[in-house]
Structure 1
Amino acid sequence: MQSTAFSFSPSISLPKPRSRPNLSTTHRFNPLYVQSLSRSLDFSAVNGVRGSLLRRFQPIRCSSSPSSSRFDGWISTPAIVPERESDGFEVRATSWPESAGEKEKASSMAGTMQLGALFGLWYLFNIYFNIYNKQVLKVFPYPVTVTTVQFAVGTVLVMFMWMFNLYKRPKISGAQLAAILPLAVVHTLGNLFTNMSLGKVAVSFTHTIKAMEPFFSVVLSAMFLGEMPTLWVVSSLAPIVGGVALASMTEASFNWAGFWSAMASNLTNQSRNVLSKKFMVKKEDSLDNITLFSIITIMSFFLLAPVTIFMEGVKVTPSYLQSAGLNVSQVYTRSLLAALCFHAYQQVSYMILARVSPVTHSVGNCVKRVVVIVTSVLFFRSPVSPINSLGTGVALAGVFLYSRVKRIKPKPKTD
Structure 2
Amino acid sequence: MSAMKPSSRFFTISLVTSWYASNIGVLLLNKYLLSNYGFKYPIFLTMCHMTACSLLSYIAIAWMKMVPMQTIKSRVQFFKISALSAIFCASVVSGNVSLRYLPVSFTQAIGATTPFFTAIFAYLMTFKREAWLTYITLIPVVTGVVIASGGEPSFHLFGFIMCLGATAARALKSVVQGILLSSEGERLNSMNLLLYMAPIAVVLLLPATLYMEENVVGITVALARDDINIIWLLLFNSVLAYCVNLTNFLVTKHTSALTLQVLGNAKGAVAVVISILIFRNPVSVTGMLGYSLTVFGVILYSEAKKRSK
TM-score (norm 2): 0.92
- Per the alignment, residue 181 of structure 1 pairs with 82
Correspondence 1:211 to 2:102: no
Counterparts of 1:110 and 1:227, CA distance in 2: 41
Q: Deviations over 1:174-203 (max 9, x none)?
A: 332122111111011110110011111111
**Aligned with residue 171 of structure 1, among 52, 56, 71:** 71
Correspondence 1:108 to 2:13: no
Residues 359 and 404, structure 1, Cα contact 8 Å, conserved in 2 = no
- Using the TM superposition, give the Cα deviation of residue 331 of structure 1 relative to its aligned residue in structure 2, in angstroms: 1.6
- Per the alignment, residue 14 of structure 2 pairs with 117
- Per the alignment, residue 400 of structure 1 pairs with 299
**Aligned with residue 329 of structure 1, among 205, 219, 228:** 228
Q: How many residues align?
A: 305
- Per the alignment, residue 130 of structure 1 pairs with 27
Counterparts of 1:324 and 1:109, CA distance in 2: 48
Counterparts of 1:235 and 1:109, CA distance in 2: 40
**Aligned with residue 142 of structure 1, among 36, 41, 44:** 41
Matches within 5 A, 1:4-403: 108-138=5-35, 139-167=38-66, 168-173=68-73, 174-317=75-218, 320-321=219-220, 327-403=226-302
Counterparts of 1:292 and 1:217, CA distance in 2: 20
> Which amino acid is the alignment partner of residue 32 of structure 2?
Q
- Using the TM superposition, give the Cα deviation of residue 322 of structure 1 relative to its aligned residue in structure 2, in angstroms: 6.6
Q: 1:280 to 1:105 in 2, by over 3 A?
A: same
Counterparts of 1:272 and 1:226, CA distance in 2: 17
Residues 58 and 195, structure 2, Cα contact 8 Å, conserved in 1 = no
Comparing 153-162 with 241-250, which one deviates more in the overlay?
A: 153-162
Residues 153 and 282, structure 2, Cα contact 8 Å, conserved in 1 = yes
Counterparts of 1:269 and 1:146, CA distance in 2: 18
Gaps of 5+ in 2: none
Residues 237 and 402, structure 1, Cα contact 8 Å, conserved in 2 = yes
Counterparts of 2:99 and 2:232, CA distance in 1: 19
Counterparts of 2:203 and 2:150, CA distance in 1: 39
Higher-RCO chain (CA-CA 8 Å, sequence separation at least 6): 2
Residues 290 and 347, structure 1, Cα contact 8 Å, conserved in 2 = yes
- Using the TM superposition, give the Cα deviation of residue 115 of structure 1 relative to its aligned residue in structure 2, in angstroms: 1.6
Identity %: 24
- Using the TM superposition, give the Cα deviation of residue 106 of structure 1 relative to its aligned residue in structure 2, in angstroms: 8.0
Q: 1:394 to 1:121 in 2, by over 3 A?
A: same
Residues 105 and 275, structure 2, Cα contact 8 Å, conserved in 1 = yes
- Using the TM superposition, give the Cα deviation of residue 357 of structure 1 relative to its aligned residue in structure 2, in angstroms: 2.6
Counterparts of 1:128 and 1:298, CA distance in 2: 23
**What is the RMSD of the two structures over their aligned residues, measured on CA atoms?**
2.0
User: 3-state SS of the aligned residue for 1:228?
Assistant: coil
Residues 183 and 275, structure 1, Cα contact 8 Å, conserved in 2 = yes
- Per the alignment, residue 40 of structure 1 pairs with none
Counterparts of 1:196 and 1:117, CA distance in 2: 31
- Using the TM superposition, give the Cα deviation of residue 165 of structure 1 relative to its aligned residue in structure 2, in angstroms: 3.5
Residues 359 and 406, structure 1, Cα contact 8 Å, conserved in 2 = no
Residues 366 and 400, structure 1, Cα contact 8 Å, conserved in 2 = yes
Counterparts of 2:2 and 2:137, CA distance in 1: 38
- Using the TM superposition, give the Cα deviation of residue 131 of structure 1 relative to its aligned residue in structure 2, in angstroms: 1.7
TM-score (norm 1): 0.70
Counterparts of 2:226 and 2:11, CA distance in 1: 39
Counterparts of 2:228 and 2:213, CA distance in 1: 21
Q: 1:105 to 1:358 in 2, by over 3 A?
A: closer
Residues 187 and 268, structure 1, Cα contact 8 Å, conserved in 2 = yes
Counterparts of 1:262 and 1:159, CA distance in 2: 30
- Using the TM superposition, give the Cα deviation of residue 323 of structure 1 relative to its aligned residue in structure 2, in angstroms: 5.2
> Which amino acid is the alignment partner of residue 296 of structure 1?
M
Counterparts of 2:2 and 2:170, CA distance in 1: 39
Counterparts of 1:228 and 1:357, CA distance in 2: 23
Comparing 320-329 with 187-196, which one deviates more in the overlay?
A: 320-329
Counterparts of 1:363 and 1:107, CA distance in 2: 19
Residues 132 and 337, structure 1, Cα contact 8 Å, conserved in 2 = no
Q: Deviations over 1:110-133 (max 9, x none)?
A: 322222211111111112111211
Counterparts of 1:283 and 1:331, CA distance in 2: 44
> Which amino acid is the alignment partner of residue 182 of structure 1?
A
Counterparts of 1:322 and 1:171, CA distance in 2: 37
Counterparts of 1:170 and 1:313, CA distance in 2: 37
